[in-house]
Amino acid sequence: MQSQDLAVNGIKLHVHMAGPETGRPIWLLHGFPECWHSWREQIPALVAAGYRIFVPEMRGYGRSDAPEDIEAYDVLTICADIQASMTALGQHDVCIVGHDWGAMVAWHLAQLEPQRVSTLVTMSVPFAGRGKRPAIEIMRELFADRFNYIIYFQQPGVAEQELDADIERSLLIFMQGASSGNLLLQKRPADSKLFDGIATPGELPHWCTAEDFKLYIETFKKDGFRGALNWYRNFERNWQKTEFLQDVKIEQPTLFLVGDKDPVATLEAHTISRMPSRVSSLEQHQLSDCGHWIQSEKSAEVNALLLGFLERHFPA
């Protein structure tokens, strides 16, 4: 692995790189609350297949800059980080792979860059175009009388105070509870905190070693969770700024993966069912006995599906 700071889009973006310099470029975009190391099982497999891999620490995370302003984290600005990076590196034909929030960035990059982003892989978060209303409006109506973590994240400083108080515990709970839905789907009063009634897991999940976990913790030591949470505070702004993409379908060959125990599969079932109407060339798979952290929990299956898809649509 190599790493480099790229001065792009008004920030410093820290990017990890691996593989032959002549290999076709693949970008791996992580989600929340993850880090570049969440792709640790995919990087060697992709490098062995002959690809050049680029894994950024996304805006607000780790060694990349974390601007103070909430407005600095709307989806088009985050996309621009990757677009400017591709330009700086002279890339004209790439595959974008994204998980969780990284998947949302990947979906939008495919719309914004139909020529340069020739192949798309998304995991855990589906996409069926811009909604008729901002998603946060709908959430506030649906969860007027009960807790919802995204609504809880909206007030600046509140979630940060809870999550930053014990970064190790916060990440451990996310890894265990957010994977299968215990943390996100549990019914609680609207004025609850995120971890109210949630016990601290006694051990790491089977897919994360102590050494791996140290890198997750290191990611949030510098700036805490503030930058990462600011992504959630732009739902309405994202909706307003993407009106020009309203009718843009995704024409690139696209692979979508989701776990059968992922709470997103339940919460976004309607979106998943609508994807074929907005994604013209879609291949999708649901992995059995798998939660939200799909590329870690089922790394062998993910790698097999990913490499098979790439061989057909983005050969090294």
pLDDT in tens, 157-210: 999 999 999 999 999 999 998 787 777 778 899 999 999 988 899 999 999 999
Q: Six-digit token pair at 226? A: 């503030």
> In terms of residue numbers, what domain contains 6?
2-313
* 292 a catalytic residue: yes
Question: Could you read off the pLDDT of 17-74 as tens digits, one per residue?
Answer: 999 999 999 999 999 999 999 999 999 999 999 999 999 999 999 999 999 999 999 9
Number of domains in the chain: 1
CATH of the domain at 24: 3.40.50.1820
Of 85, 110, 75, which is closest to residue 95 (Cα–Cα)? 110
Catalytic-role residue among 65, 74, 81, 100: 100
Strand order in the sheet with 2-8: 2-8, 11-18, 52-57, 25-29, 94-99, 117-123, 250-259, 279-287
pTM: 0.97
* 191 a catalytic residue: no
